Amino acid sequence: MRCKKRDQARKTFGNDLKLIAQVDSEKCSDIDECASNPCQNGGSCQDRVNSYNCTCAAGFTGVNCQTDIDECAFNPCQNGGSCQDRVNSYSCTCASGFAGEKCELAIEWLKVGSEVCIGSKNDMFGRFIIPVACHVLNFKLVYVSGGGISWSTGIPKAYWGTIKNNNKDLNLHITDVKNNRISPPPDFPLRSASNYMTYQLPGVTNMDPELTFPELSPPLAVTAGKEFRIWVDQDLINIYERNNEGQTYIDDCTSNPCQNGGSCQDRVNSYNCTCAAGFVGEHCERAIEWLKAGSAVCIGGKNNQSGNFTIPVACHVLNFKLVNVSGGGLSWKPGDTKAYWGTTIRHNNKDLNLHITDADNNRISPPPDFPLTYVRFGFLIYQLPGVTNMDPELTFPELSPPLAVTAGKEFRIWVDEDLKNIYEEDNEGQTCADVWIRKY
């Protein structure tokens, strides 16, 4: 701010009153600090008294917007991608196997349903559906069986073509349901005249066990459930197909659908997974694990002293296990030898008579058809190989099929006499145990 001083003028009126007139003691004009355009990189300037303020354009910071904000500073590129800073943006160069603005999308091969069969005439296209919404980079076919296809009887067959008597020509095409060509795309170079759509790919023969189609650019965005078709070109455009013969089948195991070390067996239009130990499911996708079902429970031998527990999660139960905590055990009458897992009616260490039921007292484990070793007078005594009734743990037999349960499902552990209300009056003692379930 720049100011000029002026004189004061005074006038006196009478003896007592003075009028002091201040005539522009300081006359000031504000200097525009924005006149020199201090704000850089497209920032806008707001003048202040003896100062200014810059409002920066996106991507810049600093008093004068002189600093380009480094959008790479927070490592936005995932999965090993490298970041290149831009003005108010960044670009990721993704590591192999990843895509997306931040390299957040894993590129993977996905098997789309069961195998398909491709004929060469009378609309014998191979139909398949992509089960998920995704961006498709390319398609791959893996030969299973069928012997191949040929242009005419006596002409050598090939898995991926019918036209020429050489092993390089290919004439399979993938289309949408309206038979618009998708892969190879319509602008892909063809090498055949006379309306055929024959093409070649570097290093590929029509008898290779796999055919990987050219990569699509840009990738093809598809919705879940989108249908596609695989055609021989003559069948697609209905030319010279009458003498075509043969079929090609595609391997269902090629995409490795069996997870967690499972092995795949190809079937006609399907496959079967044999799971490694510790896994189950159609694709071996579910891990088998032991889960502790709440706090320890105590089991008595009479007067409805069942040990009650709930399973906290929805799952499939393969079997139950009890781990002794305390309680000293059970006996059939005072003075008899006690055991953790039975009342020793027959005074041996192999008899077991604990049973797991549902909340309605229906026997679950061992199941009702499990072989019993002593049923006289209604007892439900059984034995398990290598197990005694004083072992610190009791693992019940595996359930077949596994038991499907909902979260919060209640179960009970009974001594057989208490469950059936027979000969229980002299039973004594209790067993307290943690309950474990083996589930997936």
Give me the residues paired with residue 11 across strands.
Answer: 19
Q: Which tokens sit at 165?
A: 């008597």
For residue 248, what pLDDT is reported? 57
Q: Which tokens sit at 127?
A: 């139909």
For residue 11, what pLDDT is reported? 43
Q: Which tokens sit at 137?
A: 């980079």
Whole-number Å distance between alpha carbons of 204 and 147: 18
Compute CA distances 89 → 5, 31, 39, 143, whole Å.
53, 37, 21, 46
For residue 163, what pLDDT is reported? 60
Query: Coil, strand, or helix at residue 257?
Result: coil
**Residues 310/408, Cβ–Cβ less than 8 Å:** yes
Q: Where are the domains of the chain?
A: 126-237, 252-287, 290-439
| Average pLDDT taken over every residue of the chain | 85
How many beta carbons lie within 10 A of that of residue 375, not counting itself? 10
Residue in this structure with the two tokens 């791959």, named with its chain if needed: 140
Whole-number Å distance between alpha carbons of 82 and 209: 36
CATH class of 252-287: mainly beta
How many beta carbons lie within 10 A of that of residue 79, not counting itself? 17
For residue 13, what pLDDT is reported? 44
Strands (E) in 294-339, as ranges, are 297-300, 307-311, 315-331
Say how many Å lie between the first and final Cα of the chain, rounded: 79
Ranges in the chain, pLDDT < 50? 1-25, 241-246
**Residues 246/206, Cβ–Cβ less than 8 Å:** no
Give me the residues paired with residue 319 across strands.
Answer: 438
Closest by alpha carbon to 254, among 303, 199, 209? 209
**Residues 115/250, Cβ–Cβ less than 8 Å:** yes
Compute CA distances 145 → 110, 118, 159, 268, 273, whole Å.
20, 11, 9, 9, 20
Residue in this structure with the two tokens 């092995």, named with its chain if needed: 263
For residue 319, what pLDDT is reported? 96
Query: Coil, strand, or helix at residue 311?
Result: strand
CA 212 to mean position of chain CA atoms? 26
For residue 229, what pLDDT is reported? 93
**What pTM did the predictor assign?**
0.47
pLDDT digits (tens, 9 = 90+) for 111-162: 887 778 887 767 778 889 898 999 999 999 988 776 677 666 666 778 887 6
* Torsion 99-103-104-106 (CA) sign: positive
Question: Looking at the domain 290-439, which fold is it?
Answer: Jelly Rolls (2.60.120)
